[in-house]
Amino acid sequence: MISDTRTSWVLKPAVHAACIFPITLLVWAAFTDNLGANPIEAINRELGEWALRFLLMALAITPLRQLTRWNGFSRLRRLLGLWAFAYVSLHVSSYIVLDHFFNWSDIWSDIVKRTFITVGMFAFVLLLSLAITSTKGWIRRLGKRWQKLHRLVYLASFAGVVHFYMMVKADTREPLIYGGIVIILLGWRVVTALLRRLRRVPSSHPQKV
């Protein structure tokens, strides 16, 4: 099993490098004019998709830890979650800057009138609240409420999938796959929570002498 030292010095830098790689490719594609006929849409969509992928990877950490019984995976959950937030922030920023060039009246009109934008902004606000409260200080302040608050990540994931589904319009296979993954991960959490409760409940049958 990988030691904590290797997790810190090998695995974490490798995960950081992997998370930086998509944005590096996107920047290179922009410089080499390889973003297609609508480069702004390509940038926005690519950033959004990677945000959703990293979010699902972060959610998959707990099942991986439980299956492998290696607690080192827990050290990667927050890291992947913050990278997901970084990509969703870039996604929203590209929408504000490249799509609308800080035209706040048009942006507000979009949020109010276009449902997929409304859902996407809802997901962003949820992820923003989770990112802000992900520090050790907030964990101490919130105590047991912190875990309850951070379960909203599943709602944010569903909202992200719905936003993607409504945006693509035609080929919905990819968002449906992501939606299935969210359902499986949420189902895993529910089943494991129920099993833990069942283990804690004492048997109601009298013991045989």
Is 158 a residue whose pLDDT tops 50?
Answer: yes
The mean pLDDT of the chain is 87
pLDDT digits (tens, 9 = 90+) for 54-88: 999 999 998 988 888 887 778 888 899 999 999 99
**pLDDT, mean of residues 136-140:** 85
Question: The whole model's pTM is what?
Answer: 0.87
Taking CB atoms within 8 Å and a gap of at least 24, the contacts of 56-60 are 56/157, 56/178, 56/181, 56/182, 56/185, 57/84, 58/84, 58/153, 59/153, 59/154, 59/157, 59/182, 59/185, 60/181, 60/185
For the chain, give percent helix, strand, coil, nearest 5.
Answer: 85, 0, 15
Q: pLDDT of 96-112, one tens digit each?
A: 999 999 999 999 999 99
| pLDDT one-digit tens code per residue, 176-200 | 999 999 999 999 988 888 887 887 7
